[in-house]
Structure 1
Amino acid sequence: MRVMMSSESQRRRRVGAGGLVLAIGCSAMLLAQPPQPPARVDENPPTTVGQVEVGAPQPTFRAGVTLVTTDVIVRDGDGVFVPDLTKEDFLVTEDGVQQEIASLVLVHGGRVFNQLAPPPPVREGIVLPASSPANDTAGRIFIIFVDDLHLTPSMTPKVRQVFETLAESLVHEGDLFGIISTGPSSLSIDMTYDRGVLYGAMERITGDALSIADQIRQQEYSRGPTEVLWRAHVAFKTARDVLRNLEQVTDRRKAFIYLSNGYDFNPFPESRLYSSLSAGSRRDGLDRVGRGSMTQGEFDQFYGDYPDPLTDPFERMSRMGQQFADADLAVEIAELARVANRANTSFYTIDPRGLIAAPDINENINPDEWRMHMFKTQNTLRMLSELTGGIAVVNRNDYDDAFREIDAETSDYYILGFYTSNPDPTVRTRALEVEVADRRDLDVRARTHYTLPREPA
């Protein structure tokens, strides 16, 4: 009996030891695994400004026929809108190929007349239930984009005054609008009909643009001033996010009111070049030689050892990439315009600076550089409007007249829709032309192209 108990005890000890070894091994394997990172929290969630509820959601098909919509304004020789046109009166061509019009919506005086609703595209083998009708009857949709990262702080009272004029002259009862900003004003107001929020938003607007001195003295890298580029990218990304939300609305005219001072990726290049102490001293010496208060010999004696940033090879190498600054800016503007055209949205750019004659008296800047900077910033706003069929309110002070003009454009219009006959997804940018058949006396305004979205990778 004692022998049997001894054997049983030994067996249990072996089993217990084996279990202990297995537990230690499993623990070691768990400890050897790399720690799992905590779940990431999106610090910049996607904006909801621009999202409009248009009925029950429908299935999304990646392949199929694309419905293209474009807004059209038709006026006679006296500039009066022509509201009695039908589907048969319009002629739409895409890349020179005539398209069959599938939908026609008339908005006249802000009222919506759905003359011809678009039929669903034909998809073989797929039967879909009837879609719910749209539950939003707003004739106009506005996005008010306050780019306070590019609005001068000293101009804040003027910006608020322009915003108040906009609220009183452009946005009316029954208009659907949203407001968003890019900087410290912290405006993010979802689509609403409540005009009362306009005045609350106006009180929060605060300009936060870099001053001329800040742009000259800030840190740079090979592509240009870092802060200037970062601020522009923030503004463009915010605008693109809102436009992607607007793509879901296909039967309304969408106006993007863009308040900004414009953009320049390479501001005041010569002043930035001479912003260091040694380069600035050399430049002052050259100015004194030019005025005759210093001889060339004295200049060579005092400043001869200072490197000339215009000819210094290391300085030129470090700034080599800045020669493409204007091209980079044009690419950014073109991409933003493509997203807007895809959403059938027009930019109405507003420069609150108004008429500009000369720099502020406290700004010590070369007049030629200042004029070039003003031209570039204003030109970017003009490009955004022209590429999307809008209006640029630039270098003018008559904001009342400008907003009345925008009001007229957004109150009377047609929206034509067609299913493109070109299924090739590689042809992304396509030319559009809209005419009124046999009516050469009418002035027809419509967008000239649109761009298909990129296919997911």
Structure 2
Amino acid sequence: MRLVISGRRLVCGTLLLPVLCGGAWGQRRGGAPAGGGIRTAPTTVRDPGAAYGLDTGTTPLYSSNGQVRHAEDEGKVEFRSETVLIEVPTGVTDRSGRPVTGLTKDDFKIYENGAEQKITAFEEISAKSTNRIDLSGKVNANTYTNLTAAAQQSPQTVVMVAIDSVNTPFLDQAYGRKQLIKFLAQRLTPGQPVEIVSIGQRGLRSISGLTYDSQTLIAALKKVSGETPALQGLGPDAQASVAAAPLSPSGLLASAASPAPLDGSASDLTSRLQQFVDQGEVLEAAYLQSNAIETTMQSFLSLAWSVSGIPERKALIWATAGFPFFIDSPSAIPAGNLGPLYERTMQALNDAEISVYPVDVRGLVNYSPNAQPDSVAPSTGPQQTRQIINRSWLQTSQIGTLNDFAEMTGGRAFYNSNDVAGGFRKAVAEASSYYLLGYYLNTHNDRAGWRKLKVTVNKKDLQARARSGFLVTNATLNPERTHVTDEGFALRSPFDSTAIPLTVQVGATTPQGDKKKIEFAYHMPVSGITIQEGSHNEFNLDFITEARSNNQPAGHSAQVAHGVLTPEALAKIKSDGIYFRNSLELPPGQYQVRCLVRDNVSGRIGTVSAPVTVN
């Protein structure tokens, strides 16, 4: 390989290759070096805390005309590749709901927007491996990984349970945890790996890591306390008004700017004062609802990336009371900074083969104003009628949205039942056996929007369940559109990303003035990296090493490695993997270091976290 300039070393198998480490490099995103070789250059990442709107104040839920945006409003999509494989995990059950096995490719038909597609990939998956898997951890004294070899090869259905305190009333959270303990104590299949997390005001956190022991899960759950959701202090009527009349805050203010004249009566004055109070609650509810969408989507994105390197299907059981975003159609997208986050999250769920199973932990719901403990004294006349209509609409839309969201990911919603534990049990059973169908997307159709999917089985009395479709937008199909925000989010995520299996060795420290230089050796199998073998074996990778102390930035190093490989070098890295060396200079102290690699062709990311002490 011809190299541009010497400096740091990129190691391909046992072949050491110099790479750039400083100076003026011109454009960061240049083409591959002419005549072959590797080009590397330092790269920068904006404040990762700003990723996906984390640095914003009020993020609008709706467009300027007060309506929800839709994917088709984007117009056209720029495809980065001529071949896009659409994979569709499909479960098949008989009339009794039992999984059906032994079917062939010829037994299935798949349709996109009503047009039959040619099935080019087919596999029957039975998640019955007995190998124990581990997501991440310490390999030895100074080596860390995000995905063990067993996790990369074991066909097991991983079950994740997300306890949602952002969108669930406080009292219902306790009931949901009780029902989850009941399910774990009686129904957990032996050898079933389960992880429990919580979604709260401060984001996603782990309650119990991936484990096969139900008693460990139960013990961790018993230590969890509830959290008052942000919307808890607002009356259900304010929440219903926001959902039933999806206006932007400016629109809500405009509607209150010209009230009808007072008639002078005491009752009219009281009514007007109540309307003034209600209007303030509606505006606050709109703001808090926006925050709830952001927190929920960030949590789902972190979860998806954390298990994306584990093969086969995963089930995400979402213990919640509702979705914070009203979906009037599958193509609905929040406006403003929330849009790319929502689109990226939906794509990440699909890429990781995650089916979401929302379980409404409220059980049976009575939406009458008189049945709510936090209701203001019941009104009479038109105001009472409006309360009942809005609350009824809110309950109906919440259930409808949970159904739509579940179907968009290939899952199923469970609601209006006090047997919440039964919902948990059915969700796990559905995800245990399935078929993986695949077809190539027609990239000549560059119109943005929602592509509706339908899978049928050519056998009597059998039912196929697959995701109802997928979004075709620039954020979902063009990884360059979210390049910076993806890296920033991965660096700040509470969990490591596993789309690229990565192992990092923390090297020795050497004095560097009043600081010390610490070396980090990356290693990844070539299976996680895109080598464009039809384009002179071209590859394009970002490497970032970042240290934080007391949750504050302490050190940062970032480079891009872009080049082409000779046939001999390609064969070598296919055998031995890719190695990369980077370093940080840090003063004495305790640090949490996160190492990141991003494949700039596919957008896949792998990260590894390691504690580092500098004496």
**What is the DSSP-based 3-state SS (H/G/I as helix, E as strand, rest coil) of the residue aligned with 1:206?**
coil
**Using a 3 Å threshold, how does the CA distance of structure 1 residues 200 and 370 change in structure 2: closer, same or farther?**
same
**Residue 98, structure 1, aligned to residue 117, structure 2:** yes
Indicate yes or no: 2:393 matched with 1:389. Answer: no
Question: Among 263, 288, 297, which residue is 1:227 paired with?
Answer: 288
CA–CA distance in structure 1, aligned partners of residues 313 and 174 of structure 2: 31
Relative to structure 1, the CA distance from residue 160 to residue 326 in structure 2 (aligned partners, 3 Å threshold; closer, same or farther) is same
User: Which of 156, 159, 182 is equivalent to 1:165?
Assistant: 182
Residue 86 of structure 1 corresponds to 104
Quote how far apart the aligned CAs of 1:45 are. Answer: 9.5
The AA in structure 1 aligned to 2:92 is V
The CA distance in 2 between the partners of 1:327 and 1:70, in whole Å, is 20
- 1:258 Cα deviation from its structure 2 partner: 1.0
Amino acid at match of 2:372: D
Check 1:42–1:408 CA distance in 2 against 1; reply closer, same or farther (3 A cut): same
Residue 102 of structure 2: SS of its match in structure 1? coil
Q: 1:360 aligns with which of 372, 377, 384?
A: 372
Letter of the 1:360 partner, please give it: Q
Q: 2:117·2:439 contact (CA, 8 Å) conserved in 1?
A: no
| 2:83 alignment partner in structure 1 | 65
Please report how far the alpha carbon of residue 196 of structure 1 lies from its aligned counterpart in structure 2 after TM superposition.
Answer: 4.3
Tell me by how many angstroms 1:190 deviates: 4.7
Q: Which structure: greater strand fraction?
A: 2
1:182 equivalent among 188, 191, 199: 199
Please give the per-residue CA displacement for 1:236-294, whole angstroms capped at 9, x wherever unaligned.
22213323444444x4222111111114579xxxxxxxxxxxxxxxxxxxxxxxxxxxx
Counterpart of 2:313 in structure 1 is 253
Label 1:221 to 1:392 Cα distance change in 2 as closer, same or farther (>3 A): closer
Change in CA separation of 1:265 and 1:65 when aligned onto 2, cut-off 3 Å: closer
In structure 2, how many angstroms separate the alpha carbons of the residues matched to 1:158 and 1:329?
Answer: 33
Instruction: Specify which of 250, 262, 268 is matched with residue 322 of structure 2.
Output: 262
CA contact (8 A) 2:125 2:435 kept: yes
Q: Normalising by structure 2, report the TM-score.
A: 0.45
Aligned residues: 324
Task: Describe the superposition over 1:145-170 as per-residue Cα deviations: whole angstroms up to 9, x where unpaired.
Answer: 22212222233431221221343355
Q: Which amino acid aligns with 1:242?
A: L
Q: Is the alpha carbon distance of 1:62 and 1:168 closer, same or farther for their aligned partners in structure 2, counting shifts above 3 Å?
A: farther
> What corresponds to 1:420 in structure 2?
440
- 1:34 maps to which residue? none
Q: For the residues of structure 2 that align with 1:263 and 1:381, how far apart are their CA atoms?
A: 6
User: In the alignment, is the contact (CA less than 8 A) between 1:150 and 1:207 conserved in 2?
Assistant: no
Give 1 or 2: higher helix fraction.
Answer: 1
| Residues 1:382 and 1:201: Cα distance change in structure 2 (over 3 Å) | farther
The 1:205–1:449 alpha-carbon spacing in structure 2 relative to 1, beyond 3 Å, is same
- The equivalent of 1:451 in structure 2 is 471
Secondary structure of the 2:99 match is coil
User: Does the CA contact (< 8 Å) of 2:318 and 2:359 recur in 1?
Assistant: yes
After TM superposition, the score normalised by the length of structure 1 is: 0.59
Q: Which residue does the alignment assign to 1:292?
A: none
| Residue identity opposite 1:387 in structure 2 | M
In structure 2, the partner of 1:208 is 228
8 Å contact from structure 2 (residues 180, 421) kept in 1: no
- Residue 111 of structure 1 is matched in structure 2 by 128
Identify if the C-alpha distance between structure 1 residues 447 and 382 changes in structure 2 by more than 3 Å, giving closer, same or farther: closer
Q: What is the aligned counterpart of 1:147 among 145, 164, 179?
A: 164
The answer as to 2:260 corresponding to 1:199 is: no
Seen in structure 2, the aligned counterparts of structure 1 residues 88 and 380 have a Cα distance that, compared at 3 Å, is closer
Q: 1:410 aligns with which of 431, 444, 447?
A: 431
Given residue 295 of structure 2, which amino acid in structure 1 is its aligned partner? V
Shift of 1:198: 2.0
Contact 1:66 1:420 in 2 (8 A): yes
Partner residue in 2 for 1:375: 396
Any idea what SS the aligned residue of 2:477 has? Answer: coil
| Partner in structure 1 of residue 303 of structure 2 | 242
Q: After TM superposition, list the pairs within 5 Å mapping 1:255-334 onto structure 2.
A: 255-263=315-323, 330-332=332-334
Output one character per residue of 1:129-152: Cα deviation in whole Å (capped at 9) or x when no partner: xxx997442421222222212222
User: SS of the residue aligned with 1:415?
Assistant: strand
The CA distance in 1 between the partners of 2:195 and 2:48, in whole Å, is: 23
Deviation at 1:410, TM superposition (A): 1.6
In 1: Cα distance, 2:282 partner to 2:170 partner: 26
Aligned to 1:120: none
Q: Provide the rounded CA distance (Å) in 1 between the counterparts of 2:93 and 2:331.
A: 35
Looking at structure 2, the residues matched to 181 and 331 of structure 1 have their Cα atoms a distance apart, in angstroms, of 25
Q: What are structure 2's unaligned runs of at least 5 residues?
A: 1-44, 53-78, 131-148, 239-276, 379-383, 482-615
CA distance, structure 2, for counterparts of residue 207 and residue 84 of structure 1: 46
Q: Does the 8 Å CA contact 1:72/1:446 hold for their aligned counterparts?
A: yes
Rounded to whole Å, the distance in 2 between the matches of 1:371 and 1:411 is 36
Q: Does structure 2 conserve the Cα–Cα contact (< 8 Å) formed by 1:378 and 1:394?
A: yes
Work out whether 1:347 is the aligned partner of 2:341: no
| Contact preservation (8 Å) 2:170, 2:226 | yes
Q: 1:112 to 1:434 in 2, by over 3 A?
A: farther
Q: Distance in 1 between matches of 2:362 and 2:471?
A: 32
Residue 23 of structure 1: aligned partner = none
Structure 1 40/102 Cα, relative in aligned 2: closer, same or farther at 3 Å?
closer
Larger Rg: 1
Q: Is the 8 A contact 2:411 2:467 kept in 1?
A: no
* Mapped partners of 2:234, 2:282: distance in 1: 15
TM superposition shift of 1:354: 0.7
- Separation in structure 2 between the aligned mates of residue 424 and residue 174 of structure 1, nearest angstrom: 45
Contact 2:120-2:440 within 8 A present in 1 as well? no
Check conservation: 1:178, 1:190, Cα contact below 8 A. Answer: yes
